[in-house]
Amino acid sequence: MELDFDDAVTWGLRGYVRRVTEELGLTGECSYVQAERPAGAYLALDGRLPGAPDRDVALVWDEEHGWSAAIETHSGEDVLVQAHFGPDLLPPPRAVARWVRGLFRGERRSPARFAAIPGATDDLADRLAPYTAAAFVPAPRAESA
């Protein structure tokens, strides 16, 4: 099966978001990947950020800015961004999870910049390609007690 560009981005982004979800210990049931360009993703998080104890928290990604942490509004409007990961568009999933855990502890500093991978390209589909297979793995199921 050969993927066209949009399919490659969609499947790669789904796999990438899945890896971030796993690193955060979540099931991914409350996540969304936007297939249309500009590509984007939404991942609901468990917990509350300090200073916003009555607001749900989400992790959002877009192909121009990368990851941001945001709180939900009570009116159903757009989310309110509270912090940006930084200049890295596709940081390692483990680094994203570490950053999110720090935000829940009240840390607001941006994570360290990651070195470019030798031979890496700026093409989004190429950068997401290593995550494509993860999009096809069945989601982990929550165990019932």
- Looking at every residue in the chain, the average pLDDT score rounds to 82
Give the pLDDT confidence of 21-44 residue by residue, as tens digits.
Answer: 999 999 878 888 887 888 899 999
Dihedral sign, CA of 119, 113, 87, 132? positive
Lowest mean pLDDT among 1-10, 70-79, 84-93, 130-139: 1-10
Per-residue pLDDT tens for 48-68?
Answer: 998 888 888 999 999 889 999
- Per-residue pLDDT, averaged over 77-106, amounts to 91
Q: What angle do CA 55, 58, 60 make, to 5 degrees?
A: 145
Say yes or no to pLDDT of 2 above 50.
no
- Residue carrying the six token digits 């009116």: 75
Sorting pLDDT into bands at 50, 70 and 90, what band is 145? very low
Q: Please, what's the largest Cα pairwise distance for the chain?
A: 48
